[in-house]
Amino acid sequence: MKIIKNIFELNKAIKNYKNIGFVPTMGGIHKGHISLIKNSKKMKAETIVSIFVNPTQFNKKKDFNNYPRNIKKDISILKKLKVNYLFLPEVKELYKEKKEKFVLKKSEKILCAKFRKGHFEGVLDVMNRLLSLIKSKHVFMGEKDFQQLFLIKKILGKKYKIKIVNCPTIRDKNKIALSTRNKLLNYKSIKKISNINLKLLKLKKDLVFKNYKKQINLSKIITKIEMNYKIKIDYLEFRDEKNLKLNEFKQNYRLFIAYTIDKVRLIDNF
């Protein structure tokens, strides 16, 4: 695996490849990231992983500083997976050029966009920079961050004529979605999250089973979960998978949640 830290080297290394699979990450590589890499490998693509903790998508400096980093361990995992290139730029390298700014439409300011001002604008900015450098055929992204995947597909997918591949959320045996942020949680919180997830999976299953087609008010369930587990829920909403519209039960829908536990903000969808 070749490690590349600057744009000049990157251009030189990858300019002749036709079939590039790109896996953007913020590091702290876990089995969720590994599933994305394996999908790229399956397509016989020259696989490029980026590790970049993007400052512009954190709305709190403390959150950015506390984000778990372990580059040595990451490199050793990526080498074993036979990743071809690791792109590891510094902030000043990736942000040295002036680039277009992204503004979300009113209709897009839902779910996390409502609670994390500027977050997706930062995600779109960094992805725009990465995709302009890495002209890949496929980009592999996780459904764990469903709204991110949705916005990148909608806004950048067309611009770069790339295929963005949805990869399912990888969970541990307790149904907890793998996430780099999980390293910040204590055992008690992990247990709570597992119980919350079992409840939410049942809630979704019951509705699918009943073939539910009506508006649904989850406020009582929200209050109950908040009280039982002493957490603060930002949102718990059923939304359409295709357009993220609220409570549309016409096509496939997902249950989206964001909450803070043990001072860590988690998101998931079922």
* Positions in the binding site for ligand AMP (CB under 6 A): 25-26, 32-33, 35-36, 141-142, 144-145, 167, 169-170, 177-180
Angle at CA 75, nearest 5°, toward 137 and 45?
A: 20
Q: What DSSP element (H or E) covers 209?
A: helix 187-209
Residue among 37 and 203 whose Cβ is closer to ligand AMP: 37
CB nearer ligand AMP, residue 14 or residue 26:
26
C-alpha–C-alpha distance, residues 26 and 254, integer Å: 25
Separation of alpha carbons 10 and 105, rounded Å = 33
- Active site (catalytic) residues: 33
Complex with ligand AMP: residue 65 or 223, whichever CB lies closer: 65
Between 127 and 218, CB nearer to ligand AMP: 127
Pairing of strands 253-261, 232-240: antiparallel
Distance CA 24, CA 94 (A): 13
Placement of tokens 């536990």 in the chain: 261
CB of 116 to ligand AMP, least distance (A): 14
In this structure, are residues 220 and 257 in contact, taking their beta carbons and an 8 Å threshold? no
List residues bridging with 240 in a β-sheet: 253
